[in-house]
């Protein structure tokens, strides 16, 4: 078993200390060739400025191997601390909550991936913590067998909290196995029922037959609520609560206004169809439409820098960089990873970054740093079939671009009505900072670049 005791020893006079030193010195014996396990290591910690160590090694029931080493001490009042030690049942290590990011102080233990008695390897995930932004795994510090969990699912934990005890001894499996096999024993056969239970069961069956009072008649005007047994109440996840709080704060803080436009996708789709094979062969990633809109957004932000700014108190902060957030919907909720320095990237760099971030988001391995910051957001609801929407700003940004599904619609081109692949685009912006003129010009720049990608080459 592990020793975890701390007690204080009263002050000792100098003569007593001298006698103790002699007594301990006389108790030393020669080391035996036989292996002796360490039972405890004690450190005498005086309250003064000096400390000395006191080590005691012995085998239980073996007086010949008792060894005591006393280095001496100075001071009077001493405090003794007994450290955890290795016992016959094997060493025990503890899994703790890891550091979860600069802005995250706690999380909720969402689920255990293992059970007590399960064998785990070093760095294998044994539990998951759900934070306001991401899900973090708790890894086993060593290979061994889980003895017990120290917290329960749904508990709030902080970095450094102990979560589980893991035995690294080879004998740990044998200690756990009997408890696992106990439920497998066949249950004893029930004895034949006697006459008395039959009488009781008869009485129980007869009770429902008794007339029950009729429920009060409801007025015709009372609403007929659905029965409670047809409803389910489940707690919100931390991620969902965080998303709900931020979106509501956005509505309460910003003067939200949305402007719309429509984009003819013919030329951008033609460009992708023409070069997609060569693009994939050279860069190892598919050429999508998202990179075209990211490049268009970068160009629009450079033409209208106020859209890339944000209000901070009585000041306006203009950002001289372009970090574009992309909204990614996952099974656990919405996450918004950031493409850093998007203005310095080409089409291939953007596509590779988007694919990497989206993969991490869906796998739940995205980090806090990859979602921090961002000066502008692009949300593509078209992948789910959305025709038109009014996106909500992601604080502390000032605008968000909403993409939608591509639909063939009749358009007038050169005096003739022809079918064209059209997309509605929406820009929601903070009207406290951005005027309608800048918002319309921004969205017009998006439209011009997407409809004629050659503008990016000529910077016009």
User: Which pLDDT score is estimated for 301?
Assistant: 96
Range with top average pLDDT, 25-29, 242-246, 276-280, 370-374 = 276-280
Long-range pairs for 151-156: beta carbons < 8 A, 24 or more residues apart: 151/109, 152/109, 153/109, 153/110, 153/111, 153/112, 154/108, 154/109, 154/235, 155/108, 155/109, 156/106, 156/107, 156/108, 156/109
Task: Please pick, among 303, 431, 448, 452, the residue that the annotation labels catalytic.
Answer: 431
Which pLDDT score, from 0 to 100, does residue 107 have? 86
Percent of the chain predicted with pLDDT > 90: 38
d(CA 160, CA 107): 12
Who wins on pLDDT, 195 or 348?
348
| Spatial distance between the Cα atoms of 343 and 319, rounded to a whole number of angstroms | 12
Among residues 64, 341, 369, 435, the one annotated as catalytic is: 435
Q: Mean pLDDT across the chain, nearest whole number?
A: 76
Active-site residue, 175 included: no
CA dist., res. 180 & res. 119, Å (int): 13
pLDDT by residue (tens digit) across 375-414? 999 999 999 999 999 999 998 899 999 999 999 999 999 8
What is the model's pLDDT at position 172?
A: 52
How far apart are the C-alpha atoms of 234 and 61, rounded to whole Å?
A: 56
Q: Above 60 in pLDDT, residue 428?
A: yes
pLDDT of residue 459: 79
If pLDDT is split at 50, 70 and 90, which confidence band does 54 have? very low
Q: Is the pLDDT of residue 237 over 70?
A: yes
Listed in order, strand segments (DSSP E) in 168-323 are: 256-264, 310-312, 315-317
Mean pLDDT in residue range 5-21: 40
The whole-number pLDDT of residue 228 equals 75
Per the annotation, the verdict on 431 as an active-site residue is: yes
Q: Say how many C-beta atoms besides its own lie within 10 A of residue 53's C-beta.
A: 14
Q: Is the pLDDT of residue 71 over 50?
A: no
Q: CA 145 to CA 180: how far, in whole Å? A: 13
Which of 192-196, 228-232, 403-407 ranks highest by mean pLDDT?
403-407
């Amino acid at each position: 078993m592990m020793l975890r005791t701390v007690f204080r020893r009263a002050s000792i006079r100098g003569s007593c200390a001298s006698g103790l030193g002699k007594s301990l010195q006389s108790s030393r014996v020669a080391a035996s060739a036989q292996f002796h396990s360490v039972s405890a290591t004690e450190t005498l910690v005086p309250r003064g400025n000096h400390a000395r160590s006191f080590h005691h090694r012995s085998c239980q029931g073996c007086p010949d191997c008792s060894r005591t080493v006393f280095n001496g001490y100075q001071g009077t009042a001493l405090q003794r601390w007994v450290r955890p030690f290795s016992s016959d049942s094997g060493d025990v290590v503890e899994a703790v909550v890891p550091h979860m990011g600069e802005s995250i102080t706690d999380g909720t233990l969402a689920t255990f991936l293992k059970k007590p008695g399960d064998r785990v390897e070093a760095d294998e995930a044994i539990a998951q913590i759900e934070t306001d932004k991401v899900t973090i795994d708790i890894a086993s510090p060593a290979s061994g067998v889980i003895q017990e969990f120290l917290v329960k699912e749904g508990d709030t934990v902080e970095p450094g909290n102990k979560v589980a005890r893991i035995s690294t001894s080879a004998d740990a499996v044998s200690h756990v196995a009997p408890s696992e096999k106990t439920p497998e024993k066949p249950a004893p056969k029930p004895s034949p029922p006697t006459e008395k239970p039959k009488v009781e069961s008869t009485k129980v069956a007869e009770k429902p037959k008794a007339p029950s009072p009729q429920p009060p008649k409801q007025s015709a005007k009372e609403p007929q609520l659905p029965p409670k047994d047809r409803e389910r109440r489940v707690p919100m996840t931390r991620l969902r609560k965080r998303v709900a709080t931020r979106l509501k704060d956005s509505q309460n803080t910003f003067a939200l206004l949305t402007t719309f436009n429509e984009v003819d996708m013919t030329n951008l789709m033609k460009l992708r169809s023409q070069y997609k094979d060569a693009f994939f062969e050279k860069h190892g990633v598919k050429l999508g439409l998202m990179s075209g809109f990211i490049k268009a957004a970068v160009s629009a932000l450079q033409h209208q820098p106020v859209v890339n700014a944000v209000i901070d108190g009585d000041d306006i902060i203009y950002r001289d960089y372009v970090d574009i957030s992309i909204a990614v919907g996952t099974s656990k909720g919405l996450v918004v990873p950031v493409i850093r320095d998007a203005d310095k990237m080409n089409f291939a760099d953007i596509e590779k970054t988007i694919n990497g971030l989206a993969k991490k988001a869906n796998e739940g391995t995205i980090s806090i740093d990859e979602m921090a910051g961002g000066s502008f957001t692009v949300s593509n609801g078209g992948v789910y079939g959305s025709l038109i929407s009014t996106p909500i700003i992601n604080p502390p940004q000032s605008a968000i671009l909403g993409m939608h599904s591509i639909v063939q619609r009749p358009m007038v081109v050169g005096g003739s009505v022809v079918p064209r692949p059209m997309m509605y685009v929406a820009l929601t912006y903070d009207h406290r900072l951005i005027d309608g003129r800048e918002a319309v010009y921004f969205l017009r720049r998006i439209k011009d670049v997407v409809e004629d990608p050659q503008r990016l080459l000529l910077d016009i």
